[in-house]
């Protein structure tokens, strides 16, 4: 009987030895395995730069047309609009003066000048009309580009009109009229409108180069035209504040995005 038990005893003893020596080894192998790093989730918020924000706002402004026809791009219904860099000032201004409606408007005024025989030195007929059109459009381009691109880039001023829309009628009227000689700087502060005043003076002086000699009246005419230009800007601002927003496409959405209580 001892012989029958012996094989089984050997098997049990061998099993005990394997567990005794193999267990720590298996445990050590498990401990030596590299630990799995914890999962880390990173959330990144992308904020547009000032230039990107200005580009978005310009695209919105380029859809603003009075009665869906006449361009009304250079007015912002966002009082805290992002400042424009020089490229954006040029882009917005050029979109206005190169618009087909602007060409048509220049053509109508040139026709009125011819009918009244203004600037008689240009002559009559198609040739006289072409000269009036060219001179009128050249004056408009030089005045607009100097007042809304070149000098605003130099003085760091924003060429747009910023719609107020709140307050009493008197305060809004005073604001609109004063914006003819006051302009917002790229730093967000209001300052004297050097760009508009000097722009009208410069364009008046340049126009003397291509108008007929008998219609060049020196500095007196230049100063008169500058005063007329500033007065026209004040009237235009009043229209922008009280009338044009009601007939300008996309103006309502732009105003409501800022304050739904605006008229």
Q: Tell me: the pLDDT tens digits for 192-213?
A: 999 999 998 898 888 878 888 8
Q: What is the mean pLDDT of the chain?
A: 84
User: Which strand (E) or helix (H) includes residue 162?
Assistant: strand 161-162
- Contact by Cβ (8 Å): 133, 105: no
What is the structure's pLDDT at 41? 64
- Contact by Cβ (8 Å): 206, 195: no
What is the structure's pLDDT at 263? 41
- Asked whether the predicted pLDDT for residue 256 surpasses 60, the reply is no
The pLDDT tens digits of the residues spanning 164-174 come to 999 999 999 99
CA distances from 42 to 16, 39, 46 (A): 51, 10, 13
The pLDDT tens digits of the residues spanning 101-139 come to 999 999 999 999 999 999 899 999 999 999 999 999 998
Global pTM reads 0.76
- Asked whether the predicted pLDDT for residue 5 surpasses 60, the reply is no
Looking at the DSSP bridge assignments, the partners of residue 70 are 66
Question: Nearest-CA neighbor of 159 among 194, 183, 187, 188?
Answer: 183
Distance CA 82, CA 87 (A): 14
């Amino acid at each position: 009987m001892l012989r029958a038990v012996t094989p089984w005893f050997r098997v049990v003893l061998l099993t005990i030895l394997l567990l005794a020596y193999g267990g720590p080894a298996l445990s050590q192998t498990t401990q030596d395995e590299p630990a799995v790093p914890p999962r880390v989730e990173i959330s990144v918020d992308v904020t547009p730069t000032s230039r990107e924000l200005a580009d978005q706002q310009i695209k919105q402004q380029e859809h603003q047309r009075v009665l869906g026809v006449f361009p009304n791009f250079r007015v912002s219904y966002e009082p805290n609009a992002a400042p424009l860099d020089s490229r954006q000032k040029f882009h917005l201004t050029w979109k206005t003066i190169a618009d087909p409606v602007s060409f048509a408007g220049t053509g109508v005024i040139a026709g009125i000048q011819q009918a009244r025989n203004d600037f008689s030195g240009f002559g009559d007929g198609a040739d006289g009309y072409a000269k009036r059109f060219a001179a009128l459009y050249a004056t408009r381009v030089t005045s607009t580009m100097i007042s809304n691109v070149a000098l605003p880039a130099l003085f760091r001023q924003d060429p747009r009109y910023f719609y107020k829309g709140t307050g009493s009628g008197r305060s809004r009227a005073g604001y609109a009229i004063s914006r003819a000689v006051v302009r917002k700087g790229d730093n967000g502060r209001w300052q004297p409108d050097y760009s508009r005043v000097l722009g009208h003076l410069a364009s008046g002086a340049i126009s003397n180069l291509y108008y007929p000699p008998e219609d060049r009246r020196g500095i007196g005419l230049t100063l008169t035209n500058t005063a007329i230009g500033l007065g026209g800007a004040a009237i235009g601002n009043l229209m922008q504040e009280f009338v044009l927003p009601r007939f300008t496409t996309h103006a309502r959405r732009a105003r409501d995005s800022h304050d739904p209580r605006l008229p």
